[in-house]
């Protein structure tokens, strides 16, 4: 299960926009969690593209997800849904 850490969505015209904060946690089927794009996150921080507030919020979100990966209902229910849907097939078009 892939999660994209981003700012809170906000309305923009007829749609919604958000800023990608680069950190991309990925729950593994074995219950582990890896974080992709930490290098891009560090670069965005160094270049001033991510504020201190956004940086701290993104890091807190990853730590919360890491806690969920270890013993939280998000992980258990998410994996259950992923596994049950992985067995489904789509009708031919």
The mean predicted confidence, pLDDT, of the chain is 87
Residue 15 has pLDDT above 80, yes or no: yes
pTM, two decimal places? 0.73
* Residue of higher predicted confidence among 39 and 93: 39
Spell out the SS3 assignment of the chain.
CECCCECCCEEECCEEECCECCCEEEECCCCCEEEECHHHHHHHHHCCCCCHHHHHHHHHHHHHHHHHHHHCHHHHHHHHHHHHHHCCCCCCC
The predicted-structure confidence for 26-70, as pLDDT tens digits, reads as follows: 888 777 789 999 999 999 999 999 999 999 999 999 998 888 776
Per-residue pLDDT, 77: 77
């Amino acid at each position: 299960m892939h999660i994209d850490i981003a700012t809170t969505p906000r309305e923009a015209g007829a749609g919604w926009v958000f800023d990608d904060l680069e950190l991309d946690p990925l729950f593994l089927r074995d219950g582990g969690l890896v974080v992709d794009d930490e290098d891009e996150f560090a670069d965005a921080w160094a270049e001033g593209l991510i504020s201190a507030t956004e940086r701290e919020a993104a890091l807190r979100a990853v730590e919360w997800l890491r806690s969920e990966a270890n013993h939280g209902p998000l992980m258990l229910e998410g994996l259950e849904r992923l596994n049950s849907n992985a067995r489904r097939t789509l009708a031919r078009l």
